[in-house]
Amino acid sequence: MGTFNFTSNDVEYNQVGQSYYTVTGDISEGDIGNDHNVGTDGLTIGIPKITTGNLGSTIFFRNSGAAGNNTVVISPDDSNKIVGSVTLSGSVVVAGGVLGKDWQLTKATSIQGDWCAIRAVSLTEWYIIGCQGIWASES
């Protein structure tokens, strides 16, 4: 996975690998543990199908693009779905929980540094474990 442990002056640090996207693409199994930085508008980042080998994995996405300029689209395999919710200004936004439907950061309200973390909790479900920013389900 993408986490490296190293020791310096008798202190242990965790160093998380970074992946950067300027074109649409899919996350490889080997890069699941990385932070995934999306700095270009209009990209769709495909996440791996959940298997027994990646069950329990967490994937972290970050908008590294300019404020008000980026839509970050997280796209599960057609046999998987993203479920959960995000609370925004007192209202709750719920992921659609439909197989193969995307979860996306809205462009007009995006801020550099907005993020979302999802975890594979079953062979068909990625759960939202945290988000910042205004995200919405594909209709």
Flag whether 24 is in a domain: yes
Domain count, the chain: 1
82-101, pLDDT tens digit by residue? 999 888 777 778 888 899 99
Q: What angle do CA 22, 27, 28 make, to 5 degrees?
A: 130
The residue segments making up the domain with residue 70 are: 20-137
* CATH number for the domain that contains residue 60: 2.60.120
6-51, pLDDT tens digit by residue? 555 666 667 889 999 999 999 999 999 999 999 999 999 999 999 9
Residue 2 clears pLDDT 60, i.e. is over it: no
Flag whether 13 is in a domain: no
Flag whether 15 is in a domain: no
Flag whether 7 is in a domain: no
Flag whether 53 is in a domain: yes
Phi and psi for 44 in degrees, rounded to 5?
A: -115, 125
Report the sign of the C-alpha dihedral through residues 125, 70, 63, 24, in that order.
Answer: positive
Flag whether 98 is in a domain: yes
Model pLDDT, residue 110: 93
Flag whether 3 is in a domain: no
pTM here?
A: 0.86
What secondary structure letter does DSSP report for 27? -
Long-range contacts of the stretch 110-113 (C-beta < 8 A, 24+): 110/63, 110/65, 110/67, 110/68, 110/69, 110/70, 110/71, 110/72, 110/134, 111/63, 111/67, 111/68, 112/63, 112/64, 112/65, 112/66, 112/67, 113/62, 113/63, 113/64
Rounded Cα gap, residues 89 and 16, in angstroms: 31
Flag whether 65 is in a domain: yes
